[in-house]
A and B are shown apart, each in its own frame.
Chain A
Amino acid sequence: MLLKELSSLTSPLSDLQLNQLQQAIAELNPNQLAWVSGYLSGISQGGAVVATGAVSAAAVSAAPAGQLTVLFGSQTGNSKGVAEELAASAKAQGLPVQVKSMANYKAKDLKTETHLIIVVSTNGEGEAPDDAIELHELLGSKKAPKLPDLKYAVLALGDSSYEFFCQTGKDFDERLAATGAQSFLERLDCDVDYETPAKEWGDKALKLVSETLTLSVQAAPVAQPFAAPASFATSQYDKKNPYTATLVTNQKITGRNSQKDVRHFEISLEDSGIQYRAGDALGVWFENDSELVDQVVKQVGLSGDEQVEVDGEKVSLRQALISHYELTQSYPGFVEKYAEISGSKKLAKIAADKAQAREYANSHQILDILAVKKNVSLTAEQLIAMLRRITPRLYSIASSQAEVEEEVHLTVGMVEFESEQGDARSGGATGFLKRLEEGGEVKVFVEHNDNFRLPANPETPVIMVGPGTGVAPFRAFMQERDAQGAGGKNWMFFGDQTFTEDFLYQVEWRGYLDSGLLTKMDVAFSRDQEEKIYVQHRLLENAAQVYQWLEDGAHFYICGDANRMAKDVNDALVKIVQEQGNKSFEEAEEYVSELRRAKRYQRDVY
C-alpha cells in the first residue's frame, strides 16, 4: 500500500499525522525513501531515536560488498512469517539483510545479490503461490539470468498429504542451481508442523551466511535499509501467542435441507487491540474431541492416563492428544510408520505406493488407520512419535472492523463424513468450532494477507468471485466499502449447490443490491437444474461486461476452492479477455499476468 493512498480509516495514524507524513515524503527520491524506511524501522525496533547525523553518515558511507536477501512466496502467510523472523534474526546478528515478497522484487536485481534465501510454500496441486508465480516462471524460462556468483538456500513449506509436496521449493532449488548459483545449505522441505525445523534450519543458514559475508564486508555495522513490515498494525498476539477470544455466535447459515452445514461464527476480540483488515485470515487453534481421543487410546491398548512429555512438560497422554497432536488430518508418513509397527500387510502395501498412501491418508483419520490392524498395543511414546503436532487452521475473515468493530466473523463449512466403517467423522477445527457453545473460548490470531486487498482507491470497480465459503472475504469487502462510502462499482459472483438452501448471506446480499452498494450479482446453483452451472459459466455469460469492467480498471478477486474452481475461473477470465479483446491466447494470458503484476488480480484460494 502506498502512503499516499493511506487514510486514517486504514492506518493507525490520525488524519493530521498522515498529512504531515505525506508532506514530508513527497519530495524524496527512491534512495532517500529507502534510507528513511530503514531509519524508521530502526527507530521502531530499537526503541530509541538515533541522532540523525550519525545514522546518515553510517548509511551513506557503508556500501556493503555483500548482503542477504530473503524472498518469500506466501499464500496464507506462513512463509512470510518465517521469512520475516529469519530476517529479524539476521538483523539482530548485525547482518545486512532485506526481506521482500517475491511479488515486490525485481528479477533483474538477482544479478547483484550475493546471498539469497528463498522461503516458499506450495499450493494444492504443486503450483506456486500467487506472489511467487512470476519469479518462479522466469527462473524456469529461457530468460533466466546466469547467476554464477550467487549463494542461495531454499526453505520449502508444504503439506505432505498433498501429492506435490513442497514442489515450488524444489523448483526454485533446481532452477537456481541451473543458473549457476551455488546452494550453501541443503533445501529443507517442511511439513505442516514446520516451525521448529524451520527455525533450526534458519539458524544454520544464518551461521553459514555470516561466515561467508564477513569475509567480504567491512566489519563496521551497517544500517542497511530494511523493508518495512508489510502489515500496518502489529499486535502482541500471533500464532505462538494467540488471543483467547470468546465465541459470541455459532449459527448454521445453510437451510435445513442443505447437504452442507456451513456456519457463521462471530468471535469477540474485546479489548485485545487486535486489528485486521478485509482480506486477512484468522488463525484458529483447536482441541480434538475428547471422545475421539478416548477411542484412539483405547484402540492401541492405552488408558490415556500415561504421562508423556510435550515441549519439556509432562502431561497425560489424553491431554497431549486433545491439545497438541493432530488426529483428524493424517499424512502418508503415519501410514508408513504404523504399517511398520503394526505389521499390517494392508497398510504396508498402501504405504509402498506414494500416490496411494497420500490418497489413503487424505481420506482416513488416524483412528481409522489404527483400526486397520486390531489388537495392536503401543506405548504412549510410540503413539505420539508417529503423530504430527496440531497446527492452527486459517479462515478468511468474513467481516470488516469498520462494521463489526471488536468482533471477527468467519464463514466455515463443517467437514463431516463417514469412515469406511460408517462412523461419523468430523474435521478437527470445524468440529471444535461446531461443538463450541456461545460464550466458549477459542484461541485466535490474525494472519495479515496483503495479497488480498480492496483497491486503495474507493472509486475503483471490483469483481468478486466467491462461491461456497469463498464468499467470506467479500462479505468483509462489502462491509468495508459500505463503511468507506466507496463509490466504486461492485459485482459479486456467488455459487453453491441450491438456491433455497445454500445461498450464503442471501439477506445481506439482497440488502446491498437494494441499497445500490452492490451493483450487480450473478449466482450459479449447480444442483438446481439438469446441467451443472458454476460461477465460471456466469462469468462467460457476462463476458462483454466483465471485459469492459476490466478495461475500466476493475480489480478481479477469487476466493475459494483452489483445485477446480480457481482454475476454471482463471481459464474463463483468459477466454473472456481473448474473445472480447480480440487477442491471441498468449496475449490474453499476458493481459491476465499484467493484471496480477498490477495487483488487480488477487486470489485467496485453498
Chain B
Amino acid sequence: MSYQPKPSPDNSLDGRALSDNERIKTESNFLRGTIAEALDDQVYGGFSPDDIQLIKFHGLYQQDDRDLRGERKKQKLDPRHSFLLRARMPGGICTPEQWLQIDKYAQERTMVGSIRLTTRQTFQYHGILKRNLRPIFQGLDEVGIDSIFTAGDVNRNTLCTSNPVESEFHAEMYELAKQTSEHFLPNTKGFADLWLNGEKVASNEAESEPLYSNVYLPRKFKIAFVMPPQNDIDVHANDISFVAIVRDGELVGYNVLVGAGLGHTHGDKRTHPRKADDFGFIDKKDVIAISEAIVSVQRDWGNRSDRHLSKTKYTIERVGVAAFKAEVEGRSGITFAESQDYKFEYRGDRIGWIKGIDKKWHLTLFIENGRILDFPGKPLKTGMREIAKVHKGDFRFTANQNLIVAGVAEKDKAKIEQLAVEHGLKTEDLSKQRENSMACVSFPTCPLAMAEAERYLPGLVTQVEGMLDKYGVADEHLVLRVTGCPNGCGRAALAEFGLVGKGPGRYNILLGGNREGTRIPKTYLENADETQILDELDSLIGRWATERNPNEGFGDFTVRSGIVEEVVVASRDFYA
C-alpha cells in the first residue's frame, strides 16, 4: 500500500501560532516533563503548570478543595492540592480481586475515600496527596490496573455497552474494545519507571510514538462500542462509535459514527455539541485499521492553534465530511460500505436482576452519582467489599455510572441479594426518574466546575419526583442530567432536560433531546437560577403529562408541541 497521506485540504490554519499545550508536549520528552523531580519535592503539594498538563496523560488531574481555597489563603497555606486518578478499564470490567485492591487503596491512600464510577465506565479516586501517588500506582499495578492515557490529548478509556445478557456478542465486542484500547496506548516505556520504580528515567534512549508522534493528538479522543437497541454509552458523545450489527445470530461488523462530541465553551458560539456522521459499515476485522486511520487524520488535520476548536468534530466541519472520509479510506485502504439499519431505544441501565442467555444472573445496582462511599445508613463501600469477598463472577461499570454484579450462579443469588439489600446498594423505592438522572463530579474538587452538579442532583431529582407524582405520571421519567461546566462529563447536551453550569447557582437549560439519545437539545434558557429551573420543570412536566401522545417521551413532546425548536444541525441550531 503506497498511499501518501494528504495534508489538510483547507489552509485556514496556515501561519497560525500553535497553542501553548503544543509547546508543552513537544518539550516534554515523551510526556515526562519534570514530573520525577516534582514527586521528590516535599515542600510543594502540586506540579508546575507545564507538568499539570502532562500528568493528565498519565491519568491524573491536579485539583484542590475549592471549598477551602479562600480559607487556606488566609491561613498562609497552599491550596490543598490533591489528585484525581482515573483508571483505565476498557469496557469497565473488573474482577472481585481487583475490586478489593481498589477498595483498599481508596481507604488508605485517598482523602475522600470514595470509588467514583464515571460516565466512561471506569473509576476515579479523588483526593490523592502527591506523596500517595506512587503507592497507588504500585498498588493498582499489583492487580493489573493502570491509568495511562485516561486523560490528555490521546485516545482515552474505550467504552463498550455493558450488556451481560446477550453475553456471546458482548464478550466478542468487549475483546475488540480492549484490543482497540491497547492499540492506542503509548509506546513509551518510561511510565513504569516513573511511577512504579521511582527511578529517574534515562532520557537518551531512542524513543518514538509512530501512532501519535511526539505531539500526540490536538485534543482528547474517545472511542466507544455499542450494541443496539441500548445506547448506554451515548454514541453522540464520542469521536468514533462502532455500532454493532448483528445478522442471523452473528456479529458481522459495525457502522462507524465519526465526529460527535458534547463539549462547548460559554460565550463562544463557534463551539457547540455535535452529533456524529455515519461513515458507513465495515467488517469487524477492519475496526482497528479504521480507528487508526481516523486518529491519524485527526492528528494531522486537527486544529493545534485553538484548543476550543481542536476536536475531531470541528476538523470534520472545517474540511467537510467527504474529504475527511475519503482520507480515512485512503489511509486505511478500506472502503466504507453502506450503513446497515439499527435502532436505539433507550439509554438507561436495566436496574435489578436479569438472567442472561448463559443462565447466569446479573444484578445491576443503581449508584447515585456513581459515588461508592459509606454514607450514613448506606454503607455502599462496605457492601461492595463484602460482595467482592464472595462473588465468583466479575463487576461491570456502566456508562451511566452504575455497577453490575455479573455472572452470579443461581445458588449464589440469594447471598448477593442479601448483601446488596443490607448495605443499601439495592433499594425498593428507587424511581425510574432517579435511575435516569445523572451528574458529573463538579464541586468541590473539579477545577473546571462553574456550578454544583453531584451535590445538587439528588435534591433536584426528589423535586422532579414530586412533580411527576403531582401530575399523575409517577412511573414516567425524563432523561435529566446536570453538568458543572460545558465540558460535558455529565452529558447534559444529550439530555431531555439538561443543566449546564454557568456560575454559582446558575445554569443554562437545554431542552429537547430525546430518550434514545439521537438528538441534541437546544439552549432553552440561559443563566436560570434554581427557582426558574423548578418553575420550568413544573410547567413543562405538567403540560407533558396532559398533552402528550401515547408513549411520547418528554423531549419529543417539547419539540412536537413547539416549546423548543428541533436541533437539526447543531452548529446552526444549538443556541437560542
Residues of A that sit less than 8 Å from B by CB: 251-256, 264, 499-501, 503-510, 513, 521-523, 528
Contacts and interface: CB of A to CB of B under 8 A. Distances in A.
A521 B41 CA distance: 10
B20 interface: no
Interface stretch (B67-75, B340-348, B502-510): B67-75
Contacts of B73: 507
A528 B78 contact: no
A508 B42 CA distance: 15
B272 to A, nearest CB: 40
A362 B361 CA distance: 67
B444 interface: no
B576 interface: no
B129 A521 contact: no
B75 A251 contact: yes
A255 B78 CA distance: 10
B548 interface: no
B43 A510 contact: yes
Ranked 5 nearest A-B pairs via Cβ: A253-B75, A507-B76, A523-B42, A506-B77, A505-B76
Contacts of B77: 253, 255, 500-501, 503, 506-507
Nearest to A494: B43
Contacts of B74: 251
Contacts of A253: 75-77
A522 B41 CA distance: 9
A253 B77 CA distance: 7
A40 to B, nearest CB: 44
Contacts of A503: 77-78
10 contacts: A251-B75, A254-B75, A255-B77, A256-B68, A499-B131, A505-B76, A507-B76, A507-B77, A507-B78, A521-B43
B74, B77, B80 pick with most chain A CB within 10 angstroms: B77
B75 A255 contact: yes
B80 to A, nearest CB: 5
A500 B43 contact: no
B352 interface: no
Contacts of A499: 42, 45, 129, 131
The binding surface of chain B is classed by DSSP as loop
Give the interface SS of chain A, mostly helix, strand, loop or mixed: mixed
Contacts of B71: 256
Given A253-B75, A256-B68, A500 B42 contact: no
B2 to A, nearest CB: 54
Given A256-B68, A499-B131, A500-B80, A523 B75 contact: no
A508 B131 CA distance: 21
B375 interface: no
Interface string B44-59: 1100000000000000
A442 to B, nearest CB: 21
Interface string B70-91: 0111111110100000000000
B70 to A, nearest CB: 12
Contacts of A500: 45, 77, 80, 129
A500 B80 CA distance: 6
Interface in B452-507: none
B19 to A, nearest CB: 26
Nearest to A264: B76
A490 to B, nearest CB: 14
A401 to B, nearest CB: 20
A236 B80 CA distance: 45
A255 B43 CA distance: 16
Contacts of B131: 499, 528
Contacts of B43: 506, 509-510, 513, 521, 523
B76 A506 contact: yes
A506 B68 contact: no
Contacts of B80: 255, 500
B42 A510 contact: no
A499 B45 CA distance: 8
Contacts, number: 49
Given A254-B75, A500-B129, 7 more contacts: A252-B75, A253-B77, A255-B80, A256-B71, A503-B77, A510-B43, A522-B42
A508 B76 contact: yes
B490 to A, nearest CB: 29
A501 B76 CA distance: 11
A184 to B, nearest CB: 54
Interface in B500-558: none
B128 to A, nearest CB: 12
Nearest to B42: A523
A349 B44 CA distance: 53
Contacts of A504: 76
A205 B130 CA distance: 64
A499 B80 CA distance: 10
A510 B78 CA distance: 9
Interface in B32-46: 42-45
Nearest to A492: B43
Nearest to B72: A255
The winner among B43, B71, B76, B78 for most chain A CB atoms within 10 A is B43
A37 to B, nearest CB: 44
Contacts of B76: 251, 253, 264, 504-508
Nearest to B67: A256
B153 to A, nearest CB: 29
Contacts of B72: 255
Contacts of B42: 499, 521-523
Interface in B107-152: 129, 131
Contacts of A254: 75
B289 to A, nearest CB: 49
A500 B68 CA distance: 12
A351 B370 CA distance: 63
A254 B77 CA distance: 8
Nearest to A502: B77
Contacts of B44: 510
A503 B80 CA distance: 11
B285 to A, nearest CB: 52
A522 B131 CA distance: 15
A46 B532 CA distance: 83
B50 to A, nearest CB: 15
Contacts of A501: 77
A504 B75 CA distance: 8
A264 B74 CA distance: 10
Nearest to B44: A510
Interface in B141-181: none
A39 to B, nearest CB: 49
A534 to B, nearest CB: 14
B38 to A, nearest CB: 13
A501 B77 CA distance: 8
Contacts of A264: 76
A568 B425 CA distance: 52
Contacts of B78: 503, 506-507, 510
Nearest to A528: B131
A521 B71 CA distance: 25
B174 to A, nearest CB: 40
A66 B385 CA distance: 87
B280 to A, nearest CB: 54
Contacts of A522: 42
A521 B40 CA distance: 12
Nearest to A509: B43
Contacts of A506: 43, 76-78
A92 to B, nearest CB: 48
Contacts of A510: 43-44, 78
A204 B74 CA distance: 54
A499 B68 CA distance: 15
A523 B131 CA distance: 13
A251 B72 CA distance: 11
Chain B CB within 10 Å, residue with most, of A255, A509, A522: A255
Nearest to A522: B42
A415 to B, nearest CB: 20
Nearest to A523: B42
- Residue among A506, A510, A522 with the highest chain B CB neighbour number at 10 A: A506
Nearest to A521: B43
